């Protein structure tokens, strides 16, 4: 199941370069995950300093 980014996101950008699938992009006002590209590897969740990335 793809992950989602919650409102806890501070838009720091730490997750985007870590995603091996290119599923994370800057949104307005927080980052977003493209569910069609996400392979649920969990790397982004481990990288997020605010624990804003969770399983959908």
Task: Find the mean pLDDT for residues 27-41.
Answer: 97
pLDDT of 53: 98
CATH of 1-56, one of 3.30.70.20, 3.40.50.920, 3.30.360.10, 3.20.20.70: 3.30.70.20
Predicted TM-score (pTM) of this structure: 0.93
Tell me the domain boundaries of the chain.
Answer: 1-56
pLDDT of 31: 98
pLDDT of 1: 80
Are 6 and 15 in contact by the 8 Å Cβ rule? The answer is no
Q: 52 Cβ partners below 8 Å, 6+ apart?
A: 5, 6, 7, 8, 9, 10, 30
pLDDT in tens, 16-29: 999 999 999 999 99
């Amino acid at each position: 199941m793809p992950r989602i980014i919650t409102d806890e996101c501070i838009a720091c950008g730490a997750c985007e370069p870590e995603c091996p699938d290119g599923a994370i992009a800057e949104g307005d006002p927080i980052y977003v995950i493209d569910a069609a590209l996400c392979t649920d590897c969990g790397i982004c969740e481990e990288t997020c300093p605010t624990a804003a990335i969770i399983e959908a």
